[in-house]
Each structure stands twice: as C-alpha cells, then as structure tokens.
C-alpha cells in the first residue's frame, strides 16, 4: 500500500509563512521572530530588551501585520497616568450621559515602549490588563480582546528616570526576549534595503500582509493544546524549576507559574516545528527566554560576571534528560 506523508500542521505552516513574510521587512533576527510567535500562540506577553535602533518596534508592528491583528503603540513616560492607557469617561452634553473614551489598551497587540519609564501606578493598571485581560475604569470593569497581548520594551543601558519593574509584574511576562545587534552581513543587507528605498513606516508597500485569520490562529492554539507530553518530560520541567530554587547562586528562583509557562511555551515551539510530542530539546531551546527574568542573582554571582542565562545553562546541564 502506498504511504502518504503526513501533511504539515497548521501551526508549522504559520511559522514558516510568518518568518518568510517578515523577512520582507526584517533582516535576520530569526530566533527573536520565533520567540515572539511562540508568545502569541501561547497567549503570553513579551518583554523585549535591546538598545535603541535594533528594530524592536518594527518586529512588533510587522508580526501584527502578518497575523492580521490590531496594533497600537504607547510611549511610556514618567508623567503618564493610568487614564492615558486605559481611557476615561467623558460627559456628552448632547445625550447628557457619560461615555467611555477608550485608551490604547483596547487593542489586540499593544507595544508598550520603554515600560520601565512608567510610574508604579501606571504599571499596575497595565498589569491588570495583562493578567486578567480586563481593565477597571472608575469602578467599571471592561473586557479586553481575547487575544490581547503586550509586547513591552526596555533599554538595558539607561537607568536614569526609570522605575524598575516589580517582580510580580516581571513574572507575568511569558518571555524575556533579547534583541541583539545584527551580524555584519545582516547589517550590510539592511543598509542595501534602505538604499533601495525601504521605508519601515510603509509595511504594506514592503509586501507585508496577513497570512491567516483569527479563526485559523485559534486552530493553531488547539494544535498546541493537543501536543503530547510524557510524564517523564513533565517531571523534567518540574526538576528544572526546582533546581533554580536550590541554586546557591540565586536569591530567588522560579515559581510554579514559571513551570506552567515553560510547558506552554515549549508546546508552542514543538507545534511550530511540526511535531506533536514535546521533547527535552524544545524545552532547552525556549527555557532561557522563559526563565531569565524570573531569577535574582546573589551579589557574589553578579560580581563573578555570571548572568541569568549562565545559571540557566548550568541547571539545564545538571538535570538528567529523560530518554
């Protein structure tokens, strides 16, 4: 009997189509694109860290364009009030009633630029939207889009005039993605594109268009839910998380929420790779992005020049891999 190859999963097709479409506007950054797509599929939020000018905003706008998601951007500043994000009730003299003038948080994909410049009260207002996908304005609760996702950015080298994110808010981000400089070859290609007339403000002219509908995106998420996970692999995830709590190099390890988020992100990555069962390799690939912002190093480890990623790699190397 003639055998037929298994057709590629919808999630695998999506990952390929988005990567190919985004390459029309973004040069390189393949690992970053993969991680951002993992977050959208796993319905998690992303903290993007990188110096100015490495295309963090363009990555978010481009991904929203490829997925057909409504996109809004807010520039966070020290004087930004919660109402500037959430909106406020205004009185209509015609109807003699108050109406909600919705703020930019009422969207599908929100880019919160330089989130650590916003004061604590404003960060707290954003936190409710991230955690509950709802906001409370003057005592009235309004629901956000079911697919509401926050891509927040922060500058790793500038601390003056900033408000460090509290641990509770950092823990709400599924991933912390490091956006680094392009390679020399990628930077040369970037210059060549701009020389030929590429305009990052005109993504339509660059050929970016949606590759699927919201309904198809939901189908991909169902494929992720159906990814098979062996009991030994679940134990492997749990052991990684527990080792962070036992590490002598850390003041704070990871919570059970981190274990759940590592599982969700790894399953999304598995489906994007076209597989239907979770492997330790997928867990190892995505673990640094899931865990790096949940760890607090001891001063001694910091003095030694260790980073959270170094400690994560040491833990991954020490946990026995299930066979």
Tens of pLDDT, residues 101-115: 888 889 999 999 988
Domains of the chain are: 1-226 (3.40.50.300), 227-323 (1.10.8.80)
pLDDT of residue 201: 80
Check residue 40 and give its pLDDT.
92
The pLDDT confidence band at residue 238, using thresholds 50, 70 and 90, is: very high
Burial (0-12, 13-18, 19+ Cβ within 10 Å), 200: middle
Least confident of 56-70, 82-96, 251-265: 82-96
CA distances from 95 to 22, 98, 100, 102, 280 (A): 46, 8, 13, 18, 61
What confidence score (pLDDT) does residue 161 get? 56
Least confident residue range of 134-143, 178-187, 285-294: 134-143
Instruction: Give the highest mean pLDDT range of 153-167, 252-266, 293-307.
Output: 252-266
The predicted model gives 259-288 an average pLDDT of: 93
Q: What is the mean pLDDT of residues 252-273?
A: 92
User: What are the backbone angles phi and psi of residue 201, rounded to the nearest 5°?
Assistant: -85, -10
pTM beyond 0.85:
yes
């Amino acid at each position: 009997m003639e055998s037929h190859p298994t057709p590629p999963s919808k999630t695998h097709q999506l990952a390929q189509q988005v990567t190919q479409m985004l390459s029309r506007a973004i040069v390189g950054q393949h690992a970053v694109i993969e991680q951002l797509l993992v977050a959208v599929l796993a319905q998690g939020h992303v903290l993007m860290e990188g110096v100015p000018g490495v295309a963090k905003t363009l990555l978010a706008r481009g991904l929203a364009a490829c997925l057909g998601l409504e996109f809004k951007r807010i520039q966070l500043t020290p004087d930004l009030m919660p109402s500037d994000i959430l909106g406020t009730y205004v009185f209509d003299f015609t109807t003699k009633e108050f109406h909600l003038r919705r703020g930019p948080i009422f969207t599908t994909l929100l880019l919160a630029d330089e989130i650590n410049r916003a004061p604590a009260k404003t960060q707290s207002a954003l936190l409710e939207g991230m955690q509950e996908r709802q906001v409370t304005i003057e005592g009235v609760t309004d629901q956000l889009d079911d697919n509401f996702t926050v891509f927040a950015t922060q500058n790793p080298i500038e601390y003056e005039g900033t408000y460090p994110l509290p641990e509770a808010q950092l823990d709400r981000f599924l991933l912390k993605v490091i956006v680094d400089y392009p390679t020399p070859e990628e930077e040369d290609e970037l210059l060549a594109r701009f020389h030929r007339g590429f305009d990052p403000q005109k993504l339509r002219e660059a050929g970016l268009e949606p590759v699927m509908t919201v309904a198809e995106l939901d189908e991909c998420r169902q494929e992720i839910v159906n990814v098979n996970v062996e009991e030994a692999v679940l134990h492997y995830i749990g052991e990684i998380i527990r080792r962070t709590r036992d590490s002598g190099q850390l003041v704070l390890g990871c919570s059970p929420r981190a274990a759940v988020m590592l599982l969700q992100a790894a399953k999304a990555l598995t489906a994007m790779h076209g597989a239907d069962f979770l492997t330790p390799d997928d867990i190892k690939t995505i673990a640094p992005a899931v865990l790096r912002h949940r760890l607090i190093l001891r001063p001694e480890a910091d003095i030694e020049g260790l980073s959270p990623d170094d400690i994560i790699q040491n833990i991954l190397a020490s946990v026995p891999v299930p066979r």
